[in-house]
């Protein structure tokens, strides 16, 4: 049965695989084309907590600007952060630069094993396995959310996540074809993304429908079983948008540690994931006529934020460690999404042309 499942999945993947800018098609691999570890690694880091469609344009822009890991290692971190702006989870960008530096300066090339790859900053169990299997052909289990869904349905695993993950790994290790681990991993991912979807799975089109215990039991959508969802805490704070008479906006670089570390932004009150910040104009970085512009909401991984936005056109000074970003330069600043929202609340359409 296990070999039959792998064969069915690979046959389907050979015919129905998604065309992605970082992927080498199975027919090309069969003709001797070797996946580039740099492109595999870069795509996997970008895909963490981000959709495939959102990543495509960033991946193309990154590889056009920095086509090799050596190019990325030679880049200025500030430029990398600017190019990453809009993808979110900015610690990934900082770890991306650190990992590129480590590969070039310490190893000379990407480590060819999951164990070696796991030593790179920002590379955990899933990412190291994915790179090892896809780029180097190491027969290791690769388990992301799509794979969890496919396997828990296939085997009708009643154990709730995250405890079920150990069972998923065990099943994958039993099914995994050692001669094509990368294609098998990508086949599982594609099946989960296009056929075995969270809602209304297209079971009639699934190559594994005859083996699926969840389908046989009449309830594939109840898998994977998930624990009760915990509500996210809500935080409040303030953002201060100072606008010069030529339309330039006052920005500063955030601290190198903590939330949104190293990114650009407008001044804010002292809110964090754990504590509220002041919401009024009295928390502004300098005295001016501050006018309220409404409230913007933003959802972070661990909390929700309500940001009270204030603006002023009467700033007469440039505080230390801040700078004025002209309208033409603003699209090129390393602004995270929450900062774009704050600026948009004060100056509509100011950030609409942010790249890529």
Question: From the candidates 19, 44, 173, 221, which is the catalytic residue?
Answer: 44
The CA distances from residue 174 to 141, 181, 189, 300, in Å, are: 9, 12, 17, 37
Residue whose structure tokens are 């209304």: 200
What does the alpha-carbon distance between residue 120 and residue 99 come to, in Å, rounded to a whole number? Answer: 5
What 3-state DSSP class applies to 250?
strand
44 as an active site residue: the answer is yes
| Residue 322: burial class (beta carbons within 10 Å; 0-12, 13-18, 19+) | middle
What does the alpha-carbon distance between residue 96 and residue 286 come to, in Å, rounded to a whole number? Answer: 36
Residue whose structure tokens are 């296009």: 194
A 10 A CB-CB count for 197 gives 14
What does the alpha-carbon distance between residue 248 and residue 159 come to, in Å, rounded to a whole number? Answer: 55
| Residue 308: burial class (beta carbons within 10 Å; 0-12, 13-18, 19+) | buried
A 10 A CB-CB count for 303 gives 16
What 3-state DSSP class applies to 322?
strand
Beta bridge partners of 305: 235, 298
Residue whose structure tokens are 């330039």: 248
What does the alpha-carbon distance between residue 285 and residue 281 come to, in Å, rounded to a whole number? Answer: 9
Q: Which two tokens stand for residue 58?
A: 């960033």
Beta bridge partners of 299: 304
The CA distances from residue 75 to 9, 62, 70, 82, 334, in Å, are: 40, 11, 9, 12, 15
Beta bridge partners of 239: 268, 309
What does the alpha-carbon distance between residue 111 and residue 302 come to, in Å, rounded to a whole number? Answer: 33
Query: Which positions are catalytic?
Result: 44
């Amino acid at each position: 049965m296990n070999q039959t499942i792998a064969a069915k999945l690979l046959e389907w993947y050979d015919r129905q695989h998604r065309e992605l800018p970082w992927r080498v098609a199975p027919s090309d691999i069969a003709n001797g084309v070797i996946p580039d570890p740099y492109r595999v690694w870069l795509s996997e880091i970008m895909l963490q907590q981000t959709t495939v469609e959102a990543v495509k344009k960033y991946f193309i822009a990154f590889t056009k600007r920095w086509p090799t890991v050596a190019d990325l290692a030679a880049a200025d971190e500030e430029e990398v952060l600017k190019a990453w702006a809009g993808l979110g989870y900015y610690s990934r960008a900082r770890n991306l630069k650190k990992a590129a530096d480590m590969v070039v300066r310490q190893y000379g090339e990407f480590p060819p094993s999951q164990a070696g790859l796991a030593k790179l900053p920002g590379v955990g169990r899933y990412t190291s396995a994915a790179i090892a299997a896809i780029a180097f052909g190491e027969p290791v289990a690769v388990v992301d959310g799509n794979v969890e869904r496919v396997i828990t349905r296939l085997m009708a695993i009643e154990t709730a996540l995250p405890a079920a993950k150990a069972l998923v790994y065990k099943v994958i290790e039993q099914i995994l074809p050692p001669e094509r681990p990368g294609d098998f991993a990508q086949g599982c991912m594609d099946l989960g993304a296009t056929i075995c979807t969270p809602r209304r799975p297209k079971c009639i089109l699934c190559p594994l429908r005859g083996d699926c215990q969840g389908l046989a039991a009449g309830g594939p959508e109840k898998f994977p079983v998930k624990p009760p969802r915990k509500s996210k805490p809500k935080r409040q704070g303030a953002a201060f948008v100072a606008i010069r008479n030529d339309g330039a906006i006052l920005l500063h670089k955030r601290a190198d540690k903590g939330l949104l570390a190293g990114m650009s932004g407008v001044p804010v009150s002292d809110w964090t994931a754990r504590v509220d910040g002041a919401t009024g104009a009295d928390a502004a970085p300098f005295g001016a006529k501050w006018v309220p512009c409404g409230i913007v909401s933003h959802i972070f991984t661990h909390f929700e934020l309500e940001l009270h936005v204030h603006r002023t056109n009467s700033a007469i000074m440039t505080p230390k460690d801040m700078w004025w970003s002209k309208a033409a330069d603003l699209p090129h600043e390393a602004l995270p999404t929450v900062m774009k929202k704050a600026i948009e609340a004060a100056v509509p359409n100011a950030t609409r042309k942010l790249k890529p």
